[in-house]
């Protein structure tokens, strides 16, 4: 009878372990994967989750079995049998976990090596984090954008840094994240595999505007990417379109509210109606002069209740005079 009971329990354990692994290894707990790197990471994650589920079911199953099988029976007031060591059991429960750890380590290393492997000529994108916006520079194309545009199925190398505090460049759908550290450049390679629009987030608490430090990666066909490059190569002829483009390019959308530009940031003051208010804010300064000085010297005219030194103070060196004129004209018309 005991042998039959042990056989039944063993079968139940075996079925539970197999089912646990299959369920865990196929469950989808990650975002929609949109890169070849992400596909590797997803397989690794599911494999590790499956192995962890097997260990959990085995350990907890043995625990429950032991509690039931060796419980104190009614009327049994004696002491339990003293057991002094079992060499075979100790070797088993030491060797099996050690082997499992080695297998996981080797598999993880191979996945990491494959995910970090770089092709001969990837497209380079420089990622610059600042409070509280992302800037993407394309040195080969000579472009700068506040949104990340990438051609599908073409390898990319990100070169990531920060101009102020530590940020963390995170694209959830790529299953990739890397810190942006002042004075350092970190890298990782990725190949987008799905066309679509995916979020870009900062995963490091970087100040009061951390939650608003968002952007998007737009994965498109190579033809669409080339067309975008051509559009970005020269500013639109219409000053309103040009100003709207520059407003997003220089990260203003991350901190200010301006419906015309699709901006809803809460770190800086609202710019709705700024063209009307600007000329009446400081005596002796017309709207254009006030807006220009507020961009180039952001701590001179602070709006009450807003913190100083939050807005970047280096626009004088980053924005060419022609683009500054277009941006001021755009804001003055809002």
Is the pLDDT reported for residue 324 higher than 70?
Answer: yes
For 94-119, letters b (16+ CB in 10 Å) and e give eeeeeeeeeeeeeeeeebeeebeeee
What domains can you pick out in the chain, each with its CATH number? 7-67+93-116 (no CATH), 123-233 (2.60.40.420), 239-332 (1.10.760.10)
In this prediction, residues 129-149 reach a mean pLDDT of 87
Digit-coded pLDDT (tens) for 258-268: 888 888 877 88
Digit-coded pLDDT (tens) for 180-220: 999 999 998 999 999 999 999 999 998 877 887 888 999 99
Q: Are 169 and 135 in contact (CB under 8 A)?
A: no
Digit-coded pLDDT (tens) for 301-313: 888 877 777 788 8
Looking at residue 13, its pLDDT comes to: 65
Of the chain, the percentage scoring pLDDT greater than 70 comes to: 94
Higher-pLDDT residue of 301, 99: 99
In this prediction, residues 239-251 reach a mean pLDDT of 81
Looking at residue 1, its pLDDT comes to: 45
Looking at residue 168, its pLDDT comes to: 95
Rg (CA), the chain: 29
- 107 token code pair: 């598999």
Range with lowest mean pLDDT among 15-19, 30-34, 168-172, 284-288: 15-19
Looking at residue 138, its pLDDT comes to: 93
Is the pLDDT reported for residue 235 higher than 70?
Answer: no
Range with lowest mean pLDDT among 40-49, 133-142, 198-207, 277-286: 277-286
pLDDT band at 6 (very low <50, low <70, confident <90, very high): low
Looking at residue 174, its pLDDT comes to: 93
Digit-coded pLDDT (tens) for 7-61: 666 777 677 767 777 776 677 788 889 999 888 988 888 888 888 888 888 888 8
pTM for the whole thing? 0.73
pLDDT band at 236 (very low <50, low <70, confident <90, very high): low
Question: Whole-number mean pLDDT of the chain?
Answer: 85
């Amino acid at each position: 009878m005991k042998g039959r009971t042990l056989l039944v329990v063993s079968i139940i354990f075996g079925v539970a372990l197999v089912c646990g692994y299959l369920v865990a290894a196929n469950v989808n707990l990650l975002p929609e994967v949109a890169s070849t790197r992400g596909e590797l990471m997803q397989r690794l994650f599911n494999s590790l989750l499956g192995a962890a589920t097997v260990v959990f079911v085995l350990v907890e199953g043995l625990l429950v079995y032991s509690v039931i099988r060796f419980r104190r029976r009614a009327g049994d007031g004696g002491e339990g049998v003293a057991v002094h060591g079992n060499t075979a059991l100790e070797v088993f429960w030491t060797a099996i976990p050690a082997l499992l750890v080695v297998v996981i380590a080797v598999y993880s290393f191979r996945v990491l090596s494959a995910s970090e492997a770089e092709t001969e000529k990837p497209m380079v994108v420089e990622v610059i984090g600042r409070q509280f916006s992302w800037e993407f520079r394309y040195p080969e194309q000579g472009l700068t954008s506040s949104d990340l545009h990438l051609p599908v199925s073409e390898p990319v190398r990100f070169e990531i840094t920060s101009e102020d505090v530590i940020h963390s460049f995170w694209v959830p759908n790529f299953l990739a994240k890397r810190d942006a550290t002042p004075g350092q450049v970190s890298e990782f390679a990725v190949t987008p595999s799905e066309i679509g629009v995916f979020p870009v987030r900062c995963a490091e608490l970087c100040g009061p505007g951390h939650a608003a430090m968002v952007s998007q990666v737009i994965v498109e066909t190579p033809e669409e990417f080339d067309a975008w490059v051509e559009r970005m190569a020269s500013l639109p002829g219409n000053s309103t379109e040009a100003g709207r483009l520059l407003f997003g390019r220089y990260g203003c959308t991350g901190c200010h509210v301006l419906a015309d530009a699709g901006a809803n940031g809460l770190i800086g003051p609202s710019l709705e109606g700024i063209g009307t208010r600007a000329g009446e804010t400081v005596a002796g300064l017309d709207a254009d002069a006030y807006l220009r000085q507020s961009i180039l010297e952001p701590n001179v005219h602070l709006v009450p209740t807003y913190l100083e030194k939050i807005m970047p103070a280096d626009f004088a060196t980053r924005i060419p005079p022609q683009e500054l004129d277009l941006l001021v004209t755009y804001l003055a018309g809002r």
